[in-house]
């Protein structure tokens, strides 16, 4: 398996960060936007910039909780001919070239249609570190959870501001890899400020979780990342980066790669501060 692959690589990365008192910087990008070759180049740029892990969105025609920026990226990728076969082939190339663990953020309907065992086997063979499945209820997750554990893949669960405490604790205890703490109710998208009460919620989650707690939704600048680094185990930056990729794409591949690296490097530094 490649350096980037497997839940063990993810755990090792978090352990190394914790040993230095650092938080993780976890960018999100859409697979296949603007095309799959560009996605490999973007992943390499993120790795060079120092990103600790990456969530790779699997385009879906009916996205869950994704705001207009990511929805538009999914639409572009699907229009460009995205398929799961092409996705796994691209991931295999990428995980052989980067050190950061890569996870797929994917709707359970896609996994179900392909078959749980087949999807997990393909994910492990491609070198993925795990799956983030935002629309999979805890009560229905046993088959995928078992398959991921057998394949040594993380299965990341999400906790939202509206999740009742007892349920949030159950989700956190069942999550592997890390817990994805959604910062705000609603859809993804960069926001000007972190919501009130987030620090207290993250602090509580960290007391009940066996794995690190990362915060996503609305994170887009170094100041927000720096604030999260004081309370969480990491920050996930999605819509702001996806928007930047869309802005850079018309300028050509070289400008895209350079621009992504330049955008992410300060976020990484903020997570280390």
Rounded CA-CA distance 207/202 in Å is 9
Residue 189: count of CB within 10 angstroms of its CB? 18
Q: Encoding tokens for residue 215?
A: 């915060």
Which listed residue (55, 122, 145, 233) is catalytic? Answer: 55
DSSP string, 207-220: HH-SS-EEEESS--
List, in sequence order, every residue forming a beta bridge with 158; answer none if it has no partner.
Answer: 180
DSSP string, 217-247: SS--SHHHHHHHHTTSSEEEE-HHHHHHHHH
Residue 47 is among the residues annotated as catalytic for this protein: no
Rounded CA-CA distance 165/79 in Å is 41
Which listed residue (66, 145, 233, 261) is catalytic? Answer: 66
Place of tokens 């989700």: 171
Residue 44 is among the residues annotated as catalytic for this protein: no
The catalytic residues are 55, 66
């Amino acid at each position: 398996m490649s350096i980037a692959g497997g839940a063990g690589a993810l755990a090792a990365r978090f352990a190394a960060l914790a040993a230095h008192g650092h938080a993780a910087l976890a960018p999100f990008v859409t697979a296949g936007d603007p095309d799959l070759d560009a996605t490999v180049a973007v992943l390499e740029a993120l790795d060079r910039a120092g990103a600790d892990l990456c969530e790779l969105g699997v385009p879906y025609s009916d996205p869950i909780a994704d705001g207009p920026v990511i929805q538009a990226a999914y639409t572009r990728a699907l229009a460009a001919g995205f398929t799961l076969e092409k996705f796994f082939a691209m991931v295999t190339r990428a995980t052989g070239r980067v050190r950061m663990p890569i996870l797929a953020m994917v709707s359970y309907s896609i996994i179900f249609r392909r078959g749980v065992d087949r999807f997990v086997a393909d994910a492990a063979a491609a070198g993925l570190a795990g799956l983030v499945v935002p629309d999979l209820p805890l009560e229905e997750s046993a088959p995928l959870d078992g398959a991921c554990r057998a394949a040594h893949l993380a299965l990341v669960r999400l906790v939202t501001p509206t999740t009742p405490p007892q349920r949030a604790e159950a989700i956190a205890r069942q999550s592997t890899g890390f817990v994805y703490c959604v910062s705000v109710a609603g859809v993804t998208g960069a926001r000007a400020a972190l919501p009130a009460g987030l620090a207290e919620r993250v602090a509580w989650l960290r007391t009940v979780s066996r794995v690190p707690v990362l915060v996503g939704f609305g994170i887009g600048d170094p100041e927000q990342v720096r604030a999260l680094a004081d309370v969480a185990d990491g920050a996930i930056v999605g819509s702001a980066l996806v928007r930047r990729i869309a802005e850079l794409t018309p300028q050509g591949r070289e400008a895209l790669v350079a621009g992504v690296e330049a955008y992410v490097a300060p976020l990484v530094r903020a997570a280390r501060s």
